[in-house]
Amino acid sequence: MKTATKKEIQEIHRIFLEHYSDAVTELRYDNAYELVVAVALSAQCTDKRVNIITPELFKRYPDARTLASADIDEVKELIRSCSFFNNKALNIVNMAKRVVEVYNGEIPLNEKDLMTLAGVGQKTAHVVMIEYTKANLMAVDTHVFRVSHRLGLSRDDTASKTEATLVRKFKNDLHALHQGMVLFGRYICTAKNPKCDTKCFLKEFCKSTESFKPK
């Protein structure tokens, strides 16, 4: 598979910003606490499903202090329709406990501290910071992985290596590029039946329509 040239990368960068400069996550939230919980629940689960689950969850547990003291079985029941709900329930309750015990109930907004929270790895930390603080960071989910490979931006076999490659090649505006690549992959450059001829505005840069997945 061909890789994108330096000139092509510059054009892809420009076109993504042209279409997605104001793009934000489709997860619904009102504050950093709700965002962290929503992003944690969204792992291997659709944003649409998470948005169905969270209104009642946040009504019952409106902040880290209430979630930290929650009955774990009640939390499991509220998020039961989410994938891996048992583990996610434990993680978000333990996350809330640490936020209360260590950070006085306030979500930390730097990568190092976020990654000390249960269920928050580097990708989740980056997504939270990209969305909430517009940090110049990249996060690679299945959509970003697929899009970056189809456009010849990366030939890496893992999400973490792909992230490093995208950071090196794009350098700036990473928060907007991340959001744009997610939406582009979700609605246009889909895994099955991509909208190549009807909606794609990056067709001239496409190197493949294979459905790439990270190892």
- Domain boundaries defined on the chain: 6-23+138-205, 32-133
The fold of 6-23+138-205 is Endonuclease Iii, domain 2 (1.10.1670)
Which among 88, 141, 156, 169 is annotated as catalytic?
141
User: What digits encode the pLDDT tens for the residues 44-70?
Assistant: 899 999 999 999 999 999 999 999 999
pLDDT above 70: percentage of residues in the chain: 100
Mean pLDDT of 139-166: 96
pLDDT of residue 211: 84
pLDDT of residue 1: 76
The fold of 32-133 is Endonuclease III; domain 1 (1.10.340)
Concerning whether 141 is annotated as a catalytic residue, the answer is yes
Count the helix, strand and coil residues of the chain and give each as a percent rounded to the nearest 5: 60, 0, 40
pLDDT of residue 213: 84
Instruction: Report the b/e string of 33-48 with b at 16+ CB within 10 A.
Output: bbbbbbbbbbbebebe
Listed as own residue / partner, the contacts of 107-111 with beta carbons closer than 8 Å and 24 or more positions apart are 107/32, 107/33, 107/35, 107/36, 107/64, 109/32, 109/133, 111/137
Mean pLDDT of 181-197: 95
Full-model pTM: 0.93
Which among 123, 134, 192, 215 is annotated as catalytic?
123
User: What digits encode the pLDDT tens for the residues 60-114?
Assistant: 999 999 999 999 999 999 999 999 999 999 999 999 999 999 999 999 999 999 9
